[in-house]
């Protein structure tokens, strides 16, 4: 029978689990497992912030992955296809505005985790992550600047350039996720 079974699922308080771990004379490993579980309950609000941080970050990056795809389509629009160009510009404008909103919430929740709960404070992986977050914010604003140039009827770069630019967002995203999950230093 598991410790949770013995103690009853309705009495999941931190102190109770510590007591359970002792009174049932469990292995040290099992007791450590329970302590971690109890700590998780203790940090429940932090876990909610983290869950929504991940949701908003993923949604923001979905926008950053898709915007350069629209730019590729804009470059491909044949000369004189005014309606198609206007439709793509409208899509890009709306997506950029929505992605900006998502970015704001994602960053705010990240700041709550970092400065509010002190997660990652004075740790190498966090400093590296913050540097990459600055790169992500820069990338977001670069998308805004490119959009403005398309709106002025310019073609800022070639189709190939936008395809390569698109990959930069993927690399930033991958590097940040590896840093926060693996915490290599
Ligand atoms: C101001 C910017 C940001 C700050 C201050 C921040 C801070 C944090 C903190 C303190 C955590 C908790 C880490 C842990 O529990 O070990 C976290 C989790 C996470 N962050 Fe951020 N973050 C920011 C932006 C981002 C961005 C831009 C991304 C993605 C590209 C991102 C992806 C994640 C992921 C995936 C997690 C979950 C890691 C896990 O629990 O395993 N964050 N963030």
Per-residue pLDDT of 84-134, as tens digits, reads: 999 999 999 999 999 999 999 999 999 999 999 999 999 999 999 999 999
What is the pLDDT of the chain when averaged over all its residues? 86
Whether residue 4 has pLDDT greater than 90:
no
Q: Are residues 178 and 157 located together in one domain of the fold?
A: yes
Q: Are residues 19 and 58 located together in one domain of the fold?
A: no
Q: Ligand 1: residues whose CB is within 6 Å?
A: 50, 53-54, 57, 61, 107, 110-111, 113-114, 119-120, 133, 136, 173, 176-177, 180-181
Whether residue 14 has pLDDT greater than 50:
no
Q: Are residues 75 and 98 located together in one domain of the fold?
A: yes
Q: Are residues 73 and 122 located together in one domain of the fold?
A: yes
pLDDT score at 44: 85
Q: Are residues 54 and 103 located together in one domain of the fold?
A: yes
pLDDT score at 128: 98
Q: Are residues 78 and 121 located together in one domain of the fold?
A: yes
Å from CA of 32 to ligand 1 middle: 26
Relative to the CA of 180, which ligand 1 atom is closest?
38
- Three-class HEC string of the chain: CCHHHHHCCCCCCHHHHHHHHHHCCCCHHHHHHHHHHHHHHHCHHHHHHHHHHHHHHHHHHHHHHHHHHHHHHHHHCCCCCHHHHHHHHHHHHHHHHHHHHHHHHHHHHHHHHHHHCCCCCCCHHHHHHHHHHHHHHHHHHHHHHHHHHHHCCCCCCCHHHHHHHHHHHHHHHHHHHHHHHHCCC
Q: Are residues 17 and 68 located together in one domain of the fold?
A: no
Q: Are residues 52 and 104 located together in one domain of the fold?
A: yes
Q: Are residues 87 and 178 located together in one domain of the fold?
A: yes
Domain hosting residue 75, numbered range? 45-182
Higher pLDDT, 158 or 12: 158
Number of domains forming the structure of the chain: 2
Q: Are residues 35 and 55 located together in one domain of the fold?
A: no
Q: Is the pTM of this model over 0.85?
A: no
Q: What is the mean pLDDT of residues 125-151?
A: 98
Q: Are residues 26 and 72 located together in one domain of the fold?
A: no
Q: Are residues 35 and 50 located together in one domain of the fold?
A: no
């Amino acid at each position: 029978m598991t410790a949770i079974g013995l103690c009853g699922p309705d009495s999941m308080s931190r102190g109770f689990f510590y007591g359970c771990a002792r009174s049932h004379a469990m292995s040290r490993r099992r007791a450590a497992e329970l302590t971690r579980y109890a700590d998780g309950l203790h940090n429940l609000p932090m876990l909610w912030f983290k869950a929504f941080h991940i949701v908003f970050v993923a949604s923001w990056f979905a926008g950053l992955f898709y915007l350069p795809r629209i730019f590729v389509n804009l470059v491909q629009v044949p000369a004189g296809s005014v309606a198609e160009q206007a439709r793509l510009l409208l899509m890009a404008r709306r997506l950029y505005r929505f992605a900006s909103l998502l970015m704001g919430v994602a960053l705010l929740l990240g700041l709550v985790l970092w400065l509010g709960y002190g997660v990652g404070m004075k740790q190498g992986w966090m400093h590296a992550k913050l540097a990459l977050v600055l790169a992500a914010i820069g990338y977001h604003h670069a998308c805004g600047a490119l959009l403005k140039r398309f709106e002025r009827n310019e073609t800022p770069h070639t189709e190939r350039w936008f395809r390569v630019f698109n990959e930069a967002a993927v690399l930033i995203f991958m590097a940040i996720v590896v840093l926060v999950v693996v915490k290599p230093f």
